[in-house]
Amino acid sequence: MLKNLFASWEKISCNFYPAFYFYHRLYRDVVQNEIKLGQITSNDKVLNIGCGAIPFTAIHIVQMTGAKVIALDKDTEAVERAKHCLKKYRLDRNIEIKIGDGVNEIPVPFTVAIVALQVKEKVKVLENLQSKGEPGGNLIFRQPTDAYKTVYGFLPNDYLPVSKTLQNMKTFKESYLYKVN
């Protein structure tokens, strides 16, 4: 329910620039922390799984690092809206939006992957990324707080991250870093 609320909010508000801007701006510090965690630079090819209709993760990465981003979503409507808005607001440089489910479709090659909080089958996506990525690649997941674990899915304790960064959001307080072996 909460999960769908955010996806719907993005679809409704993406065509209204003040709402688009405000929502994308809210996540600036989150993505900045993840850029430091994954040491993302302009040389990286970043895969963002679950970009939504307002692909703020992709936008911040391009703006802050100059990296190229492939942004994936399994929802056709979100993909179409994201493409439309990026073009309309002239934010489409270095961002390619694609339809696909991160559980079984991973566009390659990528050097870093960032997975949205709302991507529920996190273990399957992590294992899929591990099997498709180049050794040494960085995989970043937003881990929900205990209260939101059932809603968003989570990575259990036996999936130990190599590092993490703190986040100041209601639904998640940490982003985890994994390595492709």
Ligand X SMILES: C[S@+](CC[C@H](N)C(=O)[O-])C[C@H]1O[C@@H](n2cnc3c(N)ncnc32)[C@H](O)[C@@H]1O
* DSSP letter assigned to residue 143: E
Work out which of 19, 28, 63, 103 binds ligand X, going by CB under 6 A: 103
Segment contacting ligand X (CB under 6 A): 88-96, 99-107, 157-165, 169-177?
99-107
Contact 141, 154 (CB under 8 A): no
Binding flag, residue 92, ligand X (CB under 6 A): no
Work out which of 35, 37, 46, 49 binds ligand X, going by CB under 6 A: 49
Q: Is 178 helix (H, G, I), strand (E, B) or coil?
A: strand
For residue 4, give the H/E element and its range: helix 2-13
Minimum distance, C-beta of residue 38 to ligand X, in the bound complex (Å): 14
Contact 155, 142 (CB under 8 A): no
Work out which of 38, 83, 101, 144 binds ligand X, going by CB under 6 A: 101
The helix-helix angle for 28-37 and 17-26 (nearest 10°) equals 40
In this complex, which beta carbon is closest to ligand X, that of residue 102 or of residue 133?
102
In this complex, which beta carbon is closest to ligand X, that of residue 135 or of residue 165?
165
